[in-house]
Amino acid sequence: MFLNGCCRFLAICALIFPRTWCFLPNKQRVLLVSFDGFRWDYIYKFPTPSFHDVIKNGIHVEQITNVFITKTYPNHYTMVTGLYAENHGIVANEMYDPVLNETFSMNRMTIYNSEFWEDAYPIWITNQMQGHRSGAAMWPGTDVKIHGIFPTRYMPYNESVSFQERVAKLIEWFTSEEPINLGLLYWEEPDEMGHRLGPDNPLMKPVITEIDDLLNYLVLELKKAKLWDTTNVIITSDHGMAQSSTDRIIQLDQYVDRDLYRMIDHSPDVAILPKEGKLDDVYNALVQAHPNMTVYKKEAIPSRLHYSHSSRIQPILLVADEGWEILQNKSDPFELGNHGYDNALPDMHPIFLAHGPAFRKNISKKAMNSTDLYPLLCHLLGVDPLPSNGSLDNVKDLLASEVPKEPQDRSQQESFAYFIGVFLGSILVFVFLLVFIKHLTRSQVSAVRLQHTEIAQPLLQD
């Protein structure tokens, strides 16, 4: 009887103070998928039934304004931090840090120097520090130990690992005994073929068709695992692609002596580090050199690009007009498709679709910023976001349920309520334990007395 009373008491306490008894409330799963270089309008240029099926049953944002420069590493880090490149520190695929005296290059192992990544905390760290688990299949930066932390589960980057193997590993992590609640999936195409062929080439049709087939495979595998209808799946990209031409090449050797500078990042945004004392010489030689090339001193880069407040941004930046390439001369490698241009240009914009229990269905939105993805991810995961350049208010119309206008204030209120709940709950538990001990003590005393009486009775009868 006493035990039944204890159980009822504990149940009432758990109902009144649920966060006292469950420190990690059950939140929804999220899978973030990036098809590198998938331009926003590929789904209209080529047959893509799988993409359109997701749109019919989920949401579609027509134009995503990504961050400058519109290259792979800066934009993938923006998606998971909500920060402009100047704030998260990954300002290019190739960059030089004068403080570290180190060069970062996606073509060398220097990308694994954690110091390059530690101006920000990516979403997997945010998620894990608040008690959850993350899993990453090749997402840029996830195999780097950032602030001393790896994702809970991750695959070291290996381009030869198939899309199917990456999907299988993520599903394994989502369905394990200690499941992840956040998955990140990266695929290299159609970026590689977009560079090789150019986005306007009819041969891009089978490339995009194959991506559509991969998306269909992902959906079917998630359905088999009973994850498709219970997981919030976001399908996006880092940037678009523009068509280049050998008729649109700007050759720096025609205008400035290459001994006066070092080229850090390459076309179509060229980061120039002048030799000591040569900044003005290099700038003056290039500033009016070509009508399709804009030349900035670092301090004069337009504020709308959010690309000046980092020591890794070089003293001079050259930006080509769309479709133009900046090379030292025509012997340099040349590609028929490229990206990195001004992020206001539509051809630089990526795709954005989403499906899941948190999202509305068959909804189209005109535009959003890629910086808004991070606060959206945090909302879906139920974790408190770090400060970012994005806002949940900008994307709350994509969600099936209403989002409070000031999520950070709400979090503070919830945090206060949580500690009040813990405090009051602890008092109740303490009182309960006192009552329990007192009752137990009385029960034991009564039992001892009863035993003494039973022992004494035969002696009295004699």
* 48, 65, 72, 371: the active-site residue: 72
Is 453 a known active-site residue?
A: no
Residue 430: Cβ-neighbour burial (10 angstroms; 0-12, 13-18, 19+): exposed
User: Which residues carry out catalysis?
Assistant: 72
